[in-house]
Copies of this chain bind each other. A is one copy, B any other.
Amino acid sequence: MTQATVMMAEMTWPEFAACLEHDPIVFLPTGMLEQHGPHLPMGVDHLLPTAIAAMIARDVDGIVAPPLNYGYKSMPRTGGGPSFPGSTGLDGATLSATVRDVIREFARHGVRRVCVIDGHFENRWFLNEGIDLAMREVGDTGLRVMCLQHWDFLTQETLDDVFTDGYPGIELEHAAVLETSLMLHFHPELVRTDRIPDNAPMDAPPYDIWPACKEWVPETGALTSAAQASAEKGALMAAQYRRDMTAAVQRELLS
């Protein structure tokens, strides 16, 4: 192996130590093991942020830490909920503690710029909390942490190009056009193209109920149709991510 990798798990420690000298951004991809319809693998939520992080890291000479493969519990309105076989959720405090510990350790290594890239809607607040707990422990050392969910970067222009029939909103975009297109771009070998669902969108009420209402969720697990997905749309989104996330991390973390 002669060419450099951005993946921290593939680096030796002297290679990582050498990287540290130029004060790199360390990307932490966070995901979930969760149903993603009949056509996408259950690892989508860590596969996409890892791929996106690698793409950005190569541009900014950064490092991609190993992903967190498990995330917060799936909710019916945003991921189909716990009743789908395989959706494997952590307690909120467990996820927050993991993020806290990992960032605390990065800071101990001398890392001062961290970017958490998340691929699972339900993770957001527990990631926020983990980061906040780490910041409190680490104190005033110059550490800066950025946290994003990749779809929030999509511009209106991109959404118009991708969702020619209108963007249903991120909550319905579970296992639908957005994720399917990105998987067709980044991991086409993992998409069961013959099983891409074309179901009607979920019509859920504006609240949550426990025990979870399985009946709200389309049987496929896709919260709306993925029929309009394509690798081209995935490439389009990826290109915009590359342009705008790179700009954002440079603006926020390298200045």
Contact = CB atoms under 8 A, between A and B. Distances in A.
Contacts of A42: 8-13, 16
Given A12-B36, A108-B82, A88 B102 contact: yes
Interface string A187-231: 001111001000000000111111100000000010000000000
Given A94-B94, A98-B98, A131 B43 contact: no
A144 B209 contact: yes
Count identical subunits in the complex: 6
Given A43-B66, A67-B69, A85 B16 contact: yes
Query: Chain A interface secondary structure, helix, strand, loop or mixed?
Result: mixed
Interface stretch (A54-62, A119-127, A160-168): A119-127
A253 B89 CA distance: 24
A49 interface: no
A11 B94 contact: no
Contacts of A84: 13
A102 to B, nearest CB: 6
Given A1-B189, A12-B36, A36-B12, A96 B93 contact: yes
Contacts of A90: 97-98, 101-102
B97 A94 contact: yes
A235 interface: no
Interface of A: 1, 7-14, 16-17, 20, 33, 35-43, 46-47, 65-70, 72-73, 75, 82, 84-94, 96-98, 100-102, 105-106, 108-110, 122, 124-126, 128-129, 131-133, 135, 143-148, 152-153, 189-192, 195, 205-211, 221, 248, 252
16 contacts: A1-B189, A9-B33, A10-B41, A10-B190, A12-B40, A16-B86, A46-B66, A69-B69, A89-B101, A90-B101, A92-B96, A125-B126, A128-B208, A144-B209, A145-B210, A147-B208
